[in-house]
Structure 1
């Protein structure tokens, strides 16, 4: 398709991702567009223009001689700033386009001040506070998180990260320096394992909708919810892994060679640069690891739901559900 063709002569479905989500690279392209940090530089006027284009196009109105590329650019900018359910403009640091610069900065400080107890406590608290803001900003419009859920998740995730970081720091005092540099990653991984299940506790308790290949809803499954949450947790840990594992190796090597003692001012910018590169690619590529529309065998569903599905004419052997992000 010629991207310069006017959308007036085409029927473009902007409510579905631009790229094929059944392939890994299609999903990766989709998430690269969502997490693009350049989107946070858009002015108020540019965001308003993008919102008007999207709303006008959805309602069947006249958007002029826009090309397909221009329409998708407006949609990507709109998605980067406005909540998909409520349509409200999201706070800047809670947007997906802020993930790379915010995580790069916070992780850089966590990995710089990982040896002292005050440094560990403060930066782990900052990290979990940022996660709470992201979770609140991107909360579901249909079944929003309660303040109690947000508060409980925040307190327990912060506590889990601190216990892990401080506990491991005390254990690795006599270990090689590189092991100590990896402690912040262990703390972040532990916090994710606490935070994500708590934020989605309602799904674990009530299940998530599952459907057949044609989208016909078959019921709710707690097993599917548990699997979806596990996949999301793995992808979140995967996002942090390259920067928080590879960067300490480089910094440890520079320290051994005396580079950091000769140029002590260089430690922070080098760490930030390495983390920025890693996160720019790891964030969208790990989001794309598992399809948003995940599949699960009927034999792995809750026993009651299995029985209901088996009673159907031509019962499916595989069902589908939204795993979340």
Structure 2
């Protein structure tokens, strides 16, 4: 068997990102919780394989499957721009175990005000760590921006949760179980635009069909942020809508009535089962790199921008990160 060729493009995902199936396969690999169990030595080994390959050095005996495995392990633990190792809970592979725990607790402890406030605060604190860990190199998050987004999202989530809790206290218990979802959805609508406010001000990178950067588009940034908000809310729907219905039914049965301590772990498990599928599938709803017409540019700049595009008048815009 000959040495592995150097023409494999590991800068891009392994699967076709123009299709939903290709994006789903990519994100099932990226969000694989098993990557959290890898040791520091395994992570460094994968990093060395990837960096050596990019430098034109092929590890002896390396196969293409092993190269891609190392690539995804590397991506799961190291920042793509800075190369620094991400804090454990800030990694994509931590999304399912962290969110299943936090969401499960939000759905379990929704009756008392102190626990509502506490778990909404925990959720937004976790989001802040994820957002900072995965900040873009093109539009870095400042401490002030992070703090503003964190305080605003936490305030919005808590206010929504407490307000709806008050409004639904005389309604059936099943209705009250959906209050945490409404609070999370409201927080996403606040948090994500605030975290991406620099991109709303200066735009996100726009490239031609060859990948050469042409400039920045604020309109494309708005579209991308809207897609992120939609995907994050869609991601929460199965995990925060299906378990409450199941738990509401089970809690009426004698089994849980005599074993109330089983409620929290059972709910966390149900949420986790939903998130294993919802997280990658909702990440795959929209492509990370989209093609658009010059109409995305503001009218007063459209003529100048359009002259830089190819013969079909199309441009590609890059969206860094689904957060």
Answer with 304-313 or 103-112: which moved more: 304-313
After TM superposition, the structure 1 = structure 2 runs for residues 1-325 of structure 1, keeping only pairs within 5 Å, are: 8-9=4-5, 11-310=7-306, 316-324=312-320, 325=322
Instruction: Using structure 2 for the length normalisation, give the TM-score.
Output: 0.94
Q: Structure 1's 92 and 6: CA in aligned 2 closer, same or farther, altered over 3 A?
A: farther
Q: Deviations over 1:50-79 (max 9, x none)?
A: 111111111112400111111111111111
Native 8 Å contact 1:19 1:26 kept in 2: yes
Distance 2:70 2:309 in 1: 45
State the alpha-carbon separation in 1 of the partners of residues 308 and 22 from structure 2: 34
Cα 1:214–1:9, aligned 2, differ >3 Å: closer, same or farther? closer
The answer on whether the counterparts of 1:14 and 1:75 sit within 8 Å (CA) in structure 2 is: yes
Q: CA deviation at 1:217?
A: 4.1
Farther-moved stretch of structure 1 (49-58 vs 124-133):
49-58
- Aligned residues of 1:207 and 1:222 also touching (Cα < 8 A): yes
Q: RMSD over aligned Cα, in angstroms?
A: 1.8
Report the alpha carbon displacement of residue 316 of structure 1 after superposing the two structures with TM: 4.2
SS in 1 for 2:4: helix
The C-alpha deviation readout for 1:106-155, integer Å capped at 9, x for no partner, is 11111111111100111100000000011111112343211000000000
Contact 1:169–1:183 (Cα < 8 Å) also in 2: yes
Q: Is the 8 A contact 1:93 1:102 kept in 2?
A: yes
Matched residue pairs, number? 321
Deviates more, 1:137-146 or 1:18-27: 137-146
Query: Which ranges in structure 1 are unaligned for 5 or more consecutive residues?
Result: none
TM-score by length of 1: 0.93
Q: Is the 8 A contact 2:139 2:198 kept in 1?
A: no
Q: Which range is displaced more, 280-289 or 308-317? A: 308-317
Q: Distance in 2 between matches of 1:309 and 1:130?
A: 39
Q: Is the 8 A contact 1:111 1:184 kept in 2?
A: yes
Compute the displacement of 1:7 (Å).
Answer: 5.2
1:18/1:312 CA distance change after superposition, 3 Å: closer
Structure 1's consecutive aligned runs of 4 or more residues displaced over 3 angstroms after TM superposition are 211-219, 256-259, 309-318
Q: Could you tell which deviates more after superposition, 264-273 or 214-223? A: 214-223
In 1: Cα distance, 2:3 partner to 2:268 partner: 41
Helix, strand or coil for the counterpart of 2:119? helix
Determine if contact 1:219/1:305 at 8 Å carries over to the other structure: no
Q: How far did 1:314 drift?
A: 6.8
